[in-house]
Amino acid sequence: MKEHIQEILLKMGENPQRDGLLKTPERVDKSLRFLTSGYEMSVEEIVNDAIFDVQYNEMVVVKDIEVYSLCEHHMIPFFGKCSVAYIPRDKVLGLSKIPRIVDVFSRRLQVQERLTVEIAECIDDLLNPYGVAVTMEALHLCMAMRGVQKQHSTTVTSAMLGAFKDNARTRSEFMSLTR
């Protein structure tokens, strides 16, 4: 990737040999590999054996999970917060695994809508709970820095499965807990 970054710098009219840019191709390569490391991550490896048999059937919520991703249309960052809830049927997931699952999917080229659904479907597939809810609010730099240049606009998405989709009271409880 380093050679391509150097070529991009040249096409932009920059001198890749100047002091401040000498190591830029290497740094960009390393940065992009980290920001897209979700392609190399496995949900199964991350969850490992952190699914536990527990007799608990009330809502479990992990809120305000920081999210950083790259817009697949412009490869410009978007970032914000994600809240995830589920109602266990007979299994719970180690709490630290939920933010790790968010990272698996956010560290890929993404659109926020798909990212929200992928997180919800992953939790649903792992646990077969009564329901899963995911909300996300993010600022898209592709909208703030270019295009319409609206610096204070955020995008809110949600994915509701099972009891969260079918039961307005359940959905309302989740929304009030994550406000």
Among the options 6, 71, 82, 122, which is catalytic? 71
Active site includes 82? no
Among the options 6, 82, 122, 140, which is catalytic? 140
What's the longest Cα–Cα distance across the chain? 63
Among the options 74, 121, 137, 173, which is catalytic? 74
Active site includes 112? yes
Transcribe 27-44 into DSSP letters: HHHHHHHHHTGGGG--HH
Among the options 40, 73, 113, 151, which is catalytic? 73
Among the options 14, 121, 142, 173, which is catalytic? 142
Cβ 78 vs Cβ 112: under 8 Å = yes
Q: Would you call 106 helix, strand, or coil by DSSP? A: helix
Active site includes 72? yes
Active site includes 152? no
Among the options 6, 112, 118, 122, which is catalytic? 112
Cβ 63 vs Cβ 177: under 8 Å = yes
Among the options 7, 26, 66, 72, which is catalytic? 72
Active site includes 140? yes
166-171: Cβ within 8 A, 24+ apart? 166/131, 167/131, 170/59, 170/87, 170/131, 171/133
C-alpha count within 13 angstroms, C-beta hemisphere, residue 72: 11
Positions annotated as catalytic residues are 71-74, 112, 140, 142
